[in-house]
Amino acid sequence: MRDKKLADLPEGADSPLNSAVTARDRSVVQMATDAVRHKQCKLAYQPVMQAHPPQGVAFYEGFIRVLDETGRVIPAREFMPQVENTPVGRELDCIALEMGLRTLVRNPGIRLSINMSARSIGFARWSRVLDRFLKKDASIGERLILEISESSAMQVPELVVDFMDRLQERGVAFALDDFGASNFSFRYFREFLFDAAKIDGQFIRGISENSDNQALVRALIAVAREFEILVTAESVETRQDAEFLVANGVDCLQGFLFGAPSITPPWKTKSEAKTGS
């Protein structure tokens, strides 16, 4: 009976579910817009660990966060899918980049990766922010990693290739994010010349007990090795998974096993964090 009622709905009719999803998306976009307008954005930092001795922190990844009207910290997964292809998404990319670069200026002993969309390459303000900081201190480029997802890179591959060529000359490194998650053509590895690749977390979680993902990850690692690309496994949550990944040749590990993203910089001592120094 329920199936019949659904079938009787006129084609294109708005269902309660569709209306709810649309309303939610509008609310999320408005929340992100308000956060940008009122400068209620932060970076959360997560360590990326060396897989082999001395097994210290290789670099940190900075994730954009927004604060809602109650001051609650909202992670990117809750708003970025709805805004990444909108002007608000470009503004958030600018904010994340500028906050990340300021972090590098204040902390000369760390390296930091920042996520970006390929669409931001043509966004004038984003380019100005990056150029301004690199002109002030060229050494910042040596400690900056820009992460571009497979799906984003494939939207405008020629533009991304040209952008990478120009920025790598200034010391900036590039990481292919979500490696393995989409239909990325391996022939582009020759053209993009990524410095690193981050294997998508859906293949990493529980990998020690999943033979299919084990085979896939071994293949991804082999492809990266052919192009001399540093390999990071993200979403590492258990010691067993970490041991499998290390044994199979990953260079870096990232995930809750080593620390969750935190808006309190993890390289600071507790006393420094309290004083804001």
Q: Residue 215: its pLDDT value, please?
A: 98
Convert the pLDDT of each residue in 70-127 to its tens digit: 999 999 989 988 898 888 999 999 999 999 999 999 999 999 999 999 989 989 999 9
| 8 Å CB contact between 37 and 235 | no
- In three-state form (DSSP H/G/I as H, E/B as E, the rest C), the secondary structure along the chain is CHHHHHHCCCCCCCCHHHHHHHHHHHHHHHHHHHHHHCCCEEEEEEEEEECCCCCCEEEEEEEEEEECCCCCEECHHHCHHHHCCCHHHHHHHHHHHHHHHHHHHHCCCCCEEEEECHHHHHCHHHHHHHHHHHHHCHHHHHHEEEEEEHHHHCCCHHHHHHHHHHHHCCCCEEEEEEECCCCCCCCHHHHHCCCEEEECHHHCCCHHHCHHHHHHHHHHHHHHHHCCCEEEECCCCCHHHHHHHHHCCCCEEECCCCCCCECCCCCCCHHHHHHCC
Mean pLDDT over residues 200-208, rounded? 97
Mean pLDDT over residues 187-204, rounded? 89
The pTM score is 0.87
Q: Residue 27: its pLDDT value, please?
A: 86
Convert the pLDDT of each residue in 2-11 to its tens digit: 444 444 444 4
Convert the pLDDT of each residue in 172-186 to its tens digit: 999 999 999 876 667
pLDDT score of 21 more than 90: no
What structural domains does the chain harbor?
Answer: 2-275 (3.20.20.450)
